[in-house]
Amino acid sequence: MAMNGFLGDSRAMQTIRARVAFHTRQRGFDRTAKALVQGAGQAATDRLVADLYAYWGDPLSQSDERFLRSCLAEAARASGPILQCGTSLGTLLLGAVCDQEEGKSKQLWCLEHDRHWYSLMRSWLTEYRICSAHIIHSRAKLYGDYVWYSLGPERLAKSYSLLICDGTRATAQGVIGTISRLAGRLERDFVILARNVTSPADLKLLAAWAKKRDAACVMVDKKEGFIKIASKIEALPPLPESSSGAEALRAAR
């Protein structure tokens, strides 16, 4: 018994347990990702979406869940290309939504400043055969009083119907940089979803920018700084509090 206790507390056994746990999570992530992005529509359950994030080690919070399902719902309704500034696990789901479009006319363009995360996302897109998502690595650059990506707009699509700025990965003031660099590439009916917009000055600037373009700026979640700007503003789709982006993914299929 003493020997068992010694082995159980040894560094070697702790290492073995950690490796087993890692590979278990890795297999669970792979199985869940395949079910979500390659499986039948009914496979995209709320439980699977939550499991994907949990296996990665970053469980969905209530605010994360709300932003994710809003992004997927808007992606399902988008009429043209989508730009995501700052990639995440949601990139896989957004790419899956675009893959369901007939004729592959809806494409997801992703910008990522972190080279490691860019490489990981690119390998996932290849492994899970998500063909409608394109990821570009571009370092952050200071443009006057805002930070955005260093690439030239000519490397992107000619126009976008949906812009997604997730402040958890994008650079500071990502939405300010996005509209500053891409205002001329927005389609007539556009939607912008952004998080982490909490500065009163930024909110005032965005509201004024939207008004000049006959659009509206709505604060969806004040605590998280989640805003929506749309040329033809509509109420966000009524979704149950317990639901996640899986419903939008099922609808897109």
Residue-wise pLDDT for 26-85, tens only, equals: 788 788 888 887 654 444 567 788 888 888 888 888 888 889 889 989 998 998 899 999
Which residue bears the tokens 């159980």?
8
Other C-beta atoms within 10 Å of 150: how many? 11
pTM, to two decimals: 0.79
Q: Output the pLDDT for position 166.
A: 80
- Whether the pLDDT of residue 171 is over 60: the answer is no
Question: Using CA atoms, how far apart are residues 217 and 233, in angstroms rounded to an integer?
Answer: 8
Q: Output the pLDDT for position 250.
A: 44
User: For residue 112, which amino acid is it?
Assistant: E
Question: Using CA atoms, how far apart are residues 10 and 22, in angstroms rounded to an integer?
Answer: 18
Other C-beta atoms within 10 Å of 119: how many? 13
Answer whether 117's CB lies under 8 Å from 125's CB: no
Please tell me the class of the 59-252 domain.
Answer: alpha beta
**Domain chopping of the chain, boundaries:** 59-252
Beta-carbon contacts of residue 136 (< 8 Å; ≥ 6 apart): 109, 110, 111, 112, 151, 155, 156
Q: Which pLDDT band, with edges at 50, 70 and 90, does 236 fall under?
A: very low
Residue-wise pLDDT for 82-139, tens only, equals: 999 989 888 998 998 888 887 667 899 999 999 999 999 999 999 989 999 999 999 9
